[in-house]
Amino acid sequence: MLRLTLPMNEATRLSLRAGDRLLLSGVIYTGRDAAHQRMVDALQKHENPPFSYDGSLIYYTGPSPAKPGRPIGACGPTSSYRMDPFALALMPAGLRIMLGKGPRGKAFRDALVKQAAVYLVVTGGIGALLSKRVLSAATVAYPDLGAEAVYRLEVVDFPAVVAYDAVGGNLYGDLDD
Amino acid sequence: MNKIARDRLVAEVARIVEEANIDLDGKAVACLKAALRNERNELAQGILAEIVENQEIARNERIPICQDTGVAVFFVELGNEVFLDFNLEAALNEAVATAYTKGYLRKSIVRHPLDRVNTKDNTPAVIHVRPVMGSTLRIRFAPKGAGSENMSAIAMLTPADGFAGIVRFVVDVVRRAGGKPCPPIVLGVGIGGTFEKAALIAKEALLRELDDEAMNPRDRELEQALYQAVNATNVGPMGLSGDTTCLAVKVNSYPCHIASLPVAVNIQCHAARHKEVIL
């Protein structure tokens, strides 16, 4: 089990290998379908991104509302493949660490290797457990999107596994081809 | 005559809606624990252990099992001796709005598939009402997540495809879905009827008790064959290989046209949530 801190430098990112089990701590950002659309729109209009992409991890989640006294509700990953078309545009802009669930398409995997990016996964459907690893949550962009807004999360020991690494390693093997 | 007050129905339904999202039923938990005991792949064991731990945290701390608290699906059996002096669909929607708002559940419904503006209270629900004889109103609820719903499929097979054709199609759907629907999954399979009937009975199959068996011997045989074939795919928990791809297979059937063999596969993730209330 590797303990890593976010944001992450390039050397650490490149050293990750498919199958590595990680415990992530530090600051990560959330975004799913609607936020990705806006991030790509912002990129095309040469507007500032909602957060600095350099070394940052984007976590594909749309949490349930926080109960009083809690930073966040259930916050497990959503299916990553839906973000493939957006990731193709955002990886060259610097967003090269992604966390979600499930296999992704070939176009995404090819681009991931070209960009020396990494794709991490966490078990889906364990949102209650994962909510206990989040210390704080704050909206940083697109508040009108509600659960789909971009949140800045401070996490501790957030579990993840490297699914696709920067040199073409693929934990899913042949299953998704 | 059983006259049911609107307030009572709304309160009871809101209660099961909230509970379904927090309290995974004992039969689903037993299936998950059995899978954890039988799984041989180490990574898969770790995933199953996380899933078992998660449902305990959800119940004890009243946090939703999954942040995708789903689209609200109801199957209602309305007895002929039940009297309602209100609109049943409106009352069910009020219960959904109440539970999702007051229960800190995620609102995941958009008002139109293309303009995608959130309705902000998780309504409207998807409601199926069937008239039956008797003096009770049975309301079954399932919050259906999109990750697994998106991987569901239907095929209009021909009679010649038969049993083997159904197995081939279902296994192909599971293989192509891979890790996307959050396996280990539960499969609701509808065979027969028409295009829409097959899909409807497949969905309804997901509300069956996880440890029951189909009444019809052919459906039962198909359930067993599919359970074996799906678990032999090595898709495994979250698609990362292993012995546990499905927790259960439920087959519902209906008579069909001499030329048809519709097969619908509705996929349910491992958070096989449902509750019912009888009024």
Average pLDDT of B200-216? 97
User: Which residues in A lie closer than 8 A to residue B108 (C-beta atoms)?
Assistant: 62, 147
Q: Does A169 touch chain B (CB under 8 A)?
A: no
pLDDT of the residue at A133:
98
Q: Does A103 touch chain B (CB under 8 A)?
A: yes
Residue of A38, A60, A79, A83 to mutate when probing chain B, most B C-beta within 10 A: A79
Region A2-164: CATH code: 3.20.130.10
Res A173: pLDDT: 79
**Cβ pair B68:A63 closer than 8 A:** no
Residue B200: name the closest of B192, B90, B276, B244 by CA. B192
- Average pLDDT of chain A? 96
User: In chain A, what are the domain boundaries?
Assistant: 2-164
DSSP code string of B20-54: HHH---HHHHHHHHHHHHH---HHHHHHHHHHHHH
State whether residue A73 sits within 8 Å of chain B by CB: yes
Q: What is the mean pLDDT of residues B186-200?
A: 98
**Smallest Cβ distance to A76: which of B66, B237, B239?**
B66
Picking from B69, B150, B239, the nearest residue to A175 by CB comes out as B239
Give the ipTM: 0.94
Nearest to A146 by CA among B118, B30, B279: B118
Which domains, and CATH codes, for chain B? 2-20+65-144 (3.30.360), 147-272 (no CATH)
Our measurement of the distance from residue B74's CA atom to the centroid of its chain's CA atoms, rounded to an integer in Å, reads 10
Is B65 in contact with A67 (Cβ distance < 8 A)? no
Q: Which residues of A touch B107 (CB under 8 A)?
A: 146-147
CB contact under 8 A, A172 and B67: no
A172-176, B73-77, B145-149, B220-224: range with lowest mean pLDDT: A172-176
Query: For A84-138, how does the pLDDT look when each residue is reduced to its tens digit (9 = 90+)?
Result: 999 999 999 999 999 999 999 999 999 999 999 999 999 999 999 999 999 999 9
Contact criterion met (CB below 8 Å) for B163 and B263? no
Assess whether pLDDT exceeds 70 at residue A176. no
